[in-house]
Amino acid sequence: MTEDKANSESLRDRQTTGEDRVRMVARQLSEPRTANWIASEADWSHKPTKRVLRRLVDDSILHRDESGTHTTYYPDYRRQAMQEAMRLRDSGHTVEELTDRLAEMKAQIRGWKDEFGVESPNQLRGTLADETLDADEEERRREIAREWDHLQRRIKIVGFAIREWDFLAPTTEPPEASS
């Protein structure tokens, strides 16, 4: 472990509690994870991690899925998308800058579609079966497929932030109660 990484980890551990770390990990989930995985990422023990996860489920921050062999936890993706759209709105970027970024992301995906003759990240992954590809090209295609998945999610969020630009504007007035 590098000295910088060791220093940043000890600083993190000194300035956060185990519960803080579990909450941070839980809020950043992009796919369902087990309590053991979350506890490991938060560097905290299993039993108190489960207590925090239970509270996060009770508060509708996380959802619990008990349908598989292991109970998993995942965030409310709508809440995450709304929070990210608000961060984009509050970031100091203009709506024109976000529109330009949206166009760049879409152009990147169109480029991959043209380059590989596919319509989706999974179709690109399917090209890995081509026995003429070398290991470097296989890894490149896997990385592009991951980036393509990421860009598709970002396009939805950035598009939402642009569409709802005025609605997402910070306000200092309390919302009016509906009658």
Helix (H, G, I), strand (E, B) or coil at 62: strand
Task: Render pLDDT for 87-133 as a digit per residue (tens, 0 to 9).
Answer: 999 999 999 999 999 999 999 999 999 999 999 999 999 999 999 99
Lowest average pLDDT, out of 53-62, 142-151, 163-172, goes to 163-172
Please state, in angstroms and rounded to a whole number, the distance separating the CA atoms of residues 81 and 94.
19
pLDDT of residue 30: 80
In the chain, the largest separation of any two C-alpha atoms, in whole Å, equals: 67
pLDDT for residue 9 is more than 80: no
pLDDT of residue 114: 98
Query: Cα dist. 132→72, 129, 135, 136 in Å?
Result: 39, 9, 10, 12
Buried b / exposed e over 129-150, threshold 16 CB at 10 Å, is eeeeeeeeeeeebeebbeebee
Q: Judge whether 78 and 145 are in contact, CB under 8 Å.
A: no
pLDDT for residue 2 is more than 60: no
| Range 163-173 average pLDDT | 84
Mean pLDDT for all residues in the chain? 89
Structure tokens at 159: 């598009």
pLDDT for residue 174 is more than 80: no
> Amino acid letter at 147?
E
Q: What are phi and psi of 34, to 5 degrees?
A: -80, 165
Structure tokens at 170: 């910070």
pTM, to two decimals: 0.65
Task: Render pLDDT for 123-149 as a digit per residue (tens, 0 to 9).
Answer: 999 999 999 999 999 999 999 999 999
How would DSSP label each residue in 99-166?
HHHHHHHHHHHHHHHHHHT-SSHHHHHHGGG-TT--HHHHHHHHHHHHHHHHHHHHHHHHHHHHHTTT
| Range 19-42 average pLDDT | 92
pLDDT for residue 80 is more than 60: yes
